[in-house]
Structure 1
Amino acid sequence: MEANKDILITMPVSRLLLKFSLPAIGGMIVNSLYNLMDRIFVGRIGGLAMTGIGLSLPFMMMLSAVSSLVGIGASALISIKLGENNKDEAKGLLGNAITLVTGLMLLMTLLGLIFKIPILKAFGASEATLPYAVDYMTVILYGAVFQGIGTGLVNVVRAAGHPVKSMVIVCVGTVINIILDPILIFTLDMGISGAAWATIIAQLVTSVMVLQHFLSKKSQIKIVMNKLKLRLVAIKSILSIGFAPFAMQLSSVVVSIISNNALKIYGGDAAIGAMTIINAVMVLFLMSAMGVTQGAAPIIGFNFGAKRFDRVKQVLKLELIAVSSICTITFILVQAFPVMLSGIFTSEPELIAKASTGMRLFLLMLPLISAQIVGASYFQAIGEAKKATFLGLLRQVFLLIPLLLILPHFLGLNGVWGAGTLSDLISSLIAIVSLKSAFNHLSKLENDYRSAHIIPLQQNIVI
């Protein structure tokens, strides 16, 4: 641990950022492949099947939000308890997390199976796309508990000091999903439900690996039967810490529902399929940017706490350059090759045409959104949760939702694509102003700290 502290404060920031970011980038990309492979293979079934996945996406995002609510909340608290060498409390939190996420996911499964048809219709399903969405979502619901344990509690594996093991677990699940997708969809002729079965089988394996880890000798904390009983204090603590990422993901669900309905009205079922493709392309490229911010966060947080504001500024500048480069390269590819990128997911001319046009318009501000990504991550890293939450919700909640409700009335389908562009522009400009203010604040803190310590430092030298 002391060696890690020395590295964080002495290693050149460029090397340090690479050291922390590359594994994070790898993990983010691997994690995104789960849903990406489903879209690629399902796209070969047909445009309606692709739309079926798009209609199921809001509910899948809700499952992911619940996983994050428990997983991120528990992992943060367990890290603190392990830092305090309080392994008994850590075991109690682990047990409560397992029971809580299992119970919540079973509840989500029950409600989803009972109300899946009205839910999917509310999400924008038509008579043509409803059967595909029902087939996909039904199977996904069967495996909701596996998602909760596998993708939620893998955060606890990482927090308990096993980052490589957590990445291996995610990689194994992804590889299994990729292998099973073509076998179940095409060889066994299971169609869209085959894609869903591939996903939940992969999640079953990851959940078994997570549980096996906490039963093994290598784990600092182990599953203990009498710790599985829920305690109100533990539940409150887990939910309070995990609420912020839960709220962020829940806002994405609301956006997805409003977006799907607008797309259905102004562009038909094919437009929903097109947005599914656009989101897949965006996730594929921007996971690298998110990996950079994940790698930079602990470096910024540690050096900010150590009063090394000069190093914080250096990391922040490099982070901005790296994320801006990724976003700009993605922008060039999207504008130059939208047909080729859309063709990865489907061969239907109408779907490719809609996805290509939508991609160019919806992602028009990609070079600017680096400020959003870096800004929210920076303020979270230095403990300014309100600013981080504001920047995180600014695009999705405060701008995109109203624009999705207003612009399509005047511009039709282009209004849906334009809502993404305009919300990106406004939120990015606000983020740029916030980051400029952050740099000025860091410079002031650096000057104040040097002024306060220059006299004692000179006295020490004289002595």
Structure 2
Amino acid sequence: MSSSLNQRFTPWSLLKFAAPSIIMMMFMSLYTIVDGIFVSRFVGSNALSSINIVFPIINVAIAVATMLATGGNAIISRYLGENRPEKANACLTQFVCVTIGLSIVFLAFILTFTTPLSRFLGASDILLSDCNTYLRILGLFVPACMLQALFQSYLVTAGHPNFGLALTIGAGICNAVLDYVLIAVCGFGVAGAAIATCIGQCIPAVVGLIFFLLNKNGLHFTKFSFHKRELLQACYNGSSEMVSQLSMAIVTVLFNIVLMRIAGEHGVAAITILLYGEFLFNSFYLGFSIGIAPIVGFQYGAQDKVQLKRVYRIAFAFVMISSVILLGAAEGLSRPIITIFTDDPETFPLALTGFRLFSIGFLFSGFNITSSGFFTALSNGRVSAILSFCRTFIFTTICLIVLPHFLGINGAWIAVPIAEVFTLLVSLYMHQKYFIRSGKQNYFA
């Protein structure tokens, strides 16, 4: 396991190492996107709006799991770099047990307060029934959802990224097939979409548990022991990714409120499609960050600053080049992407105009996402949290509240790109401070 992390990486070998995580994250994003496509096509725009209204609750659960996945991953990979496998195994066991316990709390909360939560998030009388149906079913399977997020990261650190990829691809195919059967054939509506998603999530969750129970020659479960310092450090290190997910939930609610006021249910359906597009494109860089995190954590733990600097240079050169390519793809494919979701005469033009403006942010989001992930892997949770909080909450919220008052619906569409530009300025300052300027704070000095 450590030999795959302790090597001289070239651009090709680094990308090859990260590729399973990239594909894995993109398939993960397709879980929700495929639901949206089938629901929009076979049930209608109102049902699509219902899914978007209540999904922020699930984002909260995913946020907590992501915190323990990324923050815990930095600790586990660091212990592996320090040649302390027994500590790595103990931390893995603790983080999984804590996640299971928290998931049960989420499950009980969602099932107890389903209708109040739907109302709080903005469900109208027309949308309430579908909102409640979708939320209840996803709530029942929150443990699988959270474990899946954990094993995305931990299987990479265990030296089995391709196995994790295979699980995610299998879960994604299962989800898509069940969407077709339950929605298009059986006519179960949003309930079918929720059931398909949950069954798909169970595959990596259950198999991941079995893998770490049986993987005695590598990273594996051991007898549970409580390590307060490591748990707190994992929460601190992963706080940026948690903030990112929580902010995504809050921003989604704000988008729904703003678009409902400006354009009604069709506006909410349009922003749902745009957020799906953002989710898919940004998952590319989330996967890249997850993929390189064990390498960064290992080299940092081993104090190999030459290799650490080399990985840094390769990673951000790749991000800058690929960002231009992805922006071009998003702009060129905007019409086909929207067409996949809807041909509704009121929703389509809103979504098409919005996507072409919204996608400008892809030019900057990759650098910001990778910067935050890089600092997390270096166990610098403070800087990582600052970048994530600025990107996903502070700047986006300010732009979303202010710009629509002056620019109408176009102000809502450009809120995210402008927030990404402001975050880029903060990211560049952090790079200057920790990677370029000489001094004790420089990780490469």
Is 1:287 aligned to 2:283, yes or no?
yes
Name 1:179's counterpart in structure 2: 177
The one-letter amino acid paired with 1:216 is: L
Bigger relative contact order, structure 1 or 2, given CA contacts below 8 A and separation 6+? 2
Name 2:143's counterpart in structure 1: 145
Name 2:30's counterpart in structure 1: 33
Structure 1 distance, partners of 2:293, 2:71, is 18
**How far 1:357 moved relative to its partner?**
1.4
For 1:122-158, what per-residue CA distance to the aligned partner results, in whole angstroms no more than 9, with x for missing partners? Answer: 2222222222222211111111122122332453343
Name 2:191's counterpart in structure 1: 193
Name 1:461's counterpart in structure 2: none
Q: Name the SS for the 1:344 alignment partner.
A: helix
Name 1:7's counterpart in structure 2: 7
Name 1:100's counterpart in structure 2: 98
Structure 1 distance, partners of 2:204, 2:140, is 15
The one-letter amino acid paired with 1:15 is: W
Structure 2 distance, partners of 1:244, 1:103, is 22
Structure 1 distance, partners of 2:12, 2:124, is 52
Is 1:245 aligned to 2:217, yes or no?
no
**How far 1:79 moved relative to its partner?**
4.3
Query: Are the counterparts in 1 of residues 2 and 80 from structure 2 also a CA contact under 8 Å?
Result: no
Q: Name the SS for the 2:346 alignment partner.
A: helix
**How far 1:83 moved relative to its partner?**
5.9
Moved more, 88-97 or 173-182: 88-97
Query: Are the counterparts in 2 of residues 43 and 50 from structure 1 also a CA contact under 8 Å?
Result: yes
Moved more, 42-51 or 410-419: 410-419
**In 2 relative to 1, CA 5–432 (structure 1 residues): closer, same or farther, beyond 3 Å?**
closer
Query: Are the counterparts in 2 of residues 39 and 50 from structure 1 also a CA contact under 8 Å?
Result: yes
**In 2 relative to 1, CA 4–240 (structure 1 residues): closer, same or farther, beyond 3 Å?**
same
Name 1:16's counterpart in structure 2: 13
CA RMSD of aligned residues (A): 3.3
Identity of aligned pairs, percent?
Answer: 27
**In 2 relative to 1, CA 370–229 (structure 1 residues): closer, same or farther, beyond 3 Å?**
closer
**In 2 relative to 1, CA 132–209 (structure 1 residues): closer, same or farther, beyond 3 Å?**
same
Tell me which structure has the larger Cα radius of gyration: 1
Structure 1 distance, partners of 2:155, 2:224, is 17
**How far 1:261 moved relative to its partner?**
1.3
Query: Are the counterparts in 1 of residues 78 and 297 from structure 2 also a CA contact under 8 Å?
Result: no
Superposed, 1:76-155 pairs within 5 Å as 76-79=74-77, 92-155=90-153
Structure 2 distance, partners of 1:262, 1:120, is 17
Moved more, 401-410 or 56-65: 401-410
**How far 1:356 moved relative to its partner?**
0.9
**How far 1:379 moved relative to its partner?**
3.8
Gaps of 5+ in 2: none
Moved more, 433-442 or 199-208: 433-442
Query: Are the counterparts in 1 of residues 75 and 230 from structure 2 also a CA contact under 8 Å?
Result: no
Structure 1 distance, partners of 2:359, 2:286, is 17
**In 2 relative to 1, CA 24–255 (structure 1 residues): closer, same or farther, beyond 3 Å?**
same
The one-letter amino acid paired with 2:189 is: G
2:401 to 405, 427, 438: 405
Count of aligned pairs: 441
For 1:278-310, what per-residue CA distance to the aligned partner results, in whole angstroms no more than 9, with x for missing partners? Answer: 12122323333344444455556666742328x
Superposed, 1:14-413 pairs within 5 Å as 14-44=11-41, 45-79=43-77, 92-216=90-214, 218=216, 220=218, 223=221, 227=223, 236=232, 239-297=235-293, 305-308=303-306, 312=309, 315-413=311-409
Structure 2 distance, partners of 1:342, 1:324, is 26
**In 2 relative to 1, CA 2–183 (structure 1 residues): closer, same or farther, beyond 3 Å?**
closer
TM-score (norm: length of structure 2) = 0.86
Moved more, 163-172 or 370-379: 370-379
**In 2 relative to 1, CA 147–318 (structure 1 residues): closer, same or farther, beyond 3 Å?**
same
**In 2 relative to 1, CA 65–187 (structure 1 residues): closer, same or farther, beyond 3 Å?**
same
The one-letter amino acid paired with 1:103 is: G
The one-letter amino acid paired with 2:100 is: T
Moved more, 321-330 or 61-70: 321-330
TM-score (norm: length of structure 1) = 0.83
The one-letter amino acid paired with 2:396 is: L
Query: Are the counterparts in 2 of residues 339 and 353 from structure 1 also a CA contact under 8 Å?
Result: no
Structure 1 distance, partners of 2:380, 2:236, is 16
**In 2 relative to 1, CA 366–65 (structure 1 residues): closer, same or farther, beyond 3 Å?**
closer
Structure 2 distance, partners of 1:393, 1:188, is 42
The one-letter amino acid paired with 1:185 is: I
The one-letter amino acid paired with 1:349 is: P
Query: Are the counterparts in 1 of residues 80 and 88 from structure 2 also a CA contact under 8 Å?
Result: yes
The one-letter amino acid paired with 2:191 is: S
Q: Name the SS for the 1:125 alignment partner.
A: coil
Moved more, 355-364 or 188-197: 355-364
Structure 1 distance, partners of 2:53, 2:3, is 49
For 1:48-97, what per-residue CA distance to the aligned partner results, in whole angstroms no more than 9, with x for missing partners? Answer: 11111111221121121122234444444444556667666555544444
Q: Name the SS for the 2:126 alignment partner.
A: coil
Moved more, 388-397 or 133-142: 388-397
Moved more, 185-194 or 293-302: 293-302
**How far 1:200 moved relative to its partner?**
0.9
Q: Name the SS for the 1:128 alignment partner.
A: coil
The one-letter amino acid paired with 2:16 is: K
Q: Name the SS for the 1:124 alignment partner.
A: coil
Name 2:416's counterpart in structure 1: 420
